[in-house]
Amino acid sequence: MALPRAEVTDGLLSELETFEALIRPLTAEQWERPSRCEGWTVGDVARHTIGSLTDVVEGRLDGLGTPEVTKREVDERAGRSPAQLADEAATTAKGAAGLLPMFDDAAWDAPAPGGYEGTLGDGVEALWYDTWLHGNDIRAAVGMPEVLGPGLKGGLSHIATEVRKHGYEGEVPSNDDDAFAFILAATGRGPAQAGVPSLYA
């Protein structure tokens, strides 16, 4: 993992606060809008995002990220309002803030538990990326401008690692707009780019 530990942990905790503030005031109509995540409403995106983070904080790591676990995360939160999900986000953020300092550098650099391919630090960076990108999925669906901010750096670091696992040998853009377009292309959210694998095709 390329990014420093403090940058990743601070980035995740800050992104959790941002995500909570984003979803709390959403209306019932906005909650039901379709998102660019195929088959998911805005509410579904929020349910998955918060569900994944809660699973991690509570130690439910097996199968995290698989379709079965993702479906469970969404289904468990069916019917919850934006404010209720925001309350869970706040609780989970407190749990994460207490949990992250418990890992020493050796644990941070050791293989992640639960079958994730990478170190524990890579896994935390992936959570930062996921929260940031899904926040922008929600903004796009409800007509808000997307927010790049520090999450772009974490997102680009994560996606660069993932596309290289899939054989990508090209340059990773550093300009913010190009980097965001690169992430959207790699995750199937934007126009394809030559040589950039679509990770979720």
Residue 61, token pair as written in the block: 């790591």
The CATH number assigned to the domain with range 5-25+39-151 reads 1.20.120.450
Mean pLDDT of the chain: 95
Question: What is the structure's pLDDT at 78?
Answer: 96
pLDDT band at 121 (very low <50, low <70, confident <90, very high): very high
pLDDT band at 113 (very low <50, low <70, confident <90, very high): confident
Stated pTM of the model: 0.95
Span 155-183, average pLDDT: 95
Q: Express each pLDDT in 124-147 by its tens digit.
A: 999 999 999 999 999 999 999 999
Q: Express each pLDDT in 53-79 by its tens digit.
A: 999 999 999 888 899 999 999 999 999
DSSP line for the chain: --S-HHHHHHHHHHHHHHHHHHHTT--HHHHTSB-SSTT-BHHHHHHHHHHHHHHHHTT--TTTTSHHHHHHHHHHTTT--HHHHHHHHHHHHHHHHHHGGGS-HHHHHSBPGGG-SSBHHHHHHHHHHHHHHHHHHHHHHHTPPP--HHHHHHHHHHHHHHHHHTT--SPPP-SHHHHHHHHHHHTTSS---TT---TT-
**Distance between CA atoms of residues 200 and 105, nearest Å:** 31
Q: In the chain, what are the domain boundaries?
A: 5-25+39-151
